[in-house]
Amino acid sequence: MVYEIVTFGHAVLRRKAKPVGAVNADIRALAQSLLDSMHAARGVGLAAEQIGREEAVCAVDVPRNSERPDCIADNAAIAMPLVLIDPEILATDGTQRNEEGCLSFPDISALITRPDRVTFAYTDLNGQRQTATAVGLLSRAIQHEIDHLNAVLLVDRMSTMQRLSVAGQLRRLQQQAKKD
């Protein structure tokens, strides 16, 4: 099922996700809805909060041809799309600074600095705990979605100058959220 993406100003985006624990049919259906909604919006990642839910579930689907050439081999073992249930970041390394956007902040993007490599743990759709390491855009997408689950938003990663440059857009999103 395709859901409308919740935008900045909606309270659910500032709520920390609740751990899932056991994977069941409802969680699998939520995962499919995240994938469907993400693909319909032409995004590479989506967290449950972004469709108004509070479970610690997110989905990432980074096309291989979107990665830097040096990252493709490193990320080859991570099958796309990737659903992360109760994910956590275990370690990070390196630095990358790239343009980052968010489906909850339509038409807003900013240069954001993040670790280039992330090692993370998560529960898969079969209820098995997994650990993996990602680099490049996949690493960025995973970190971004885990941020959402921790109620950390794109605007929180922006510098003061970046926030000031999009202040009008942020105000409009907040006003629209109040109307909704």
Q: Are the beta carbons of 132 and 118 closer than 8 angstroms?
A: no
The torsion angle over the Cα atoms of residues 42, 47, 50 and 53, rounded to 10 degrees, is: 140
Domain assignment of residue 134, yes or no? yes
Alpha-helical regions (H) of 19-132: 25-40, 69-75
Domain assignment of residue 59, yes or no? yes
Residues with catalytic roles = 145
SS3 124: coil
State the chain's mean pLDDT as an integer. Answer: 95
Domain assignment of residue 87, yes or no? yes
Q: How many domains does the chain have?
A: 1
Domain assignment of residue 4, yes or no? no
- Cα separation, 29 vs 12, in Å, equals 20
SS3 130: strand
pLDDT of residue 180: 79
Domain assignment of residue 160, yes or no? yes
Instruction: Encode pLDDT of 78-105 as tens digits.
Output: 899 999 999 999 999 999 999 999 999 9
Confidence category of residue 76, pLDDT binned at 50, 70, 90? confident
- How, if at all, do strands 129-135 and 109-114 pair? unpaired
What is the residue range of 172's domain? 11-179
pLDDT of residue 80: 94
- Cα separation, 147 vs 128, in Å, equals 22
The 10 Å CB-count burial string (b at 16+, else e) for 28-64 is eebbebbbbbbeeeebbbbbbbbbebebbbbbbbbee
Amino acid at 165: S
Instruction: Encode pLDDT of 5-37 as tens digits.
Output: 999 999 999 999 999 989 999 999 999 999 999
Tell the residue number behind the tokens 């409802």, with chain if given: 26
pLDDT over 90 (residue 68): no
Domain assignment of residue 6, yes or no? no
Domain assignment of residue 3, yes or no? no
Alpha-helical regions (H) of the chain: 25-40, 69-75, 136-149, 154-157, 160-165, 167-179
- CA distances from residue 25 to 19, 29, 31, 94, 142 in whole angstroms, order as listed: 16, 6, 10, 38, 24
Give the CATH number, domain containing residue 114.
Answer: 3.90.45.10
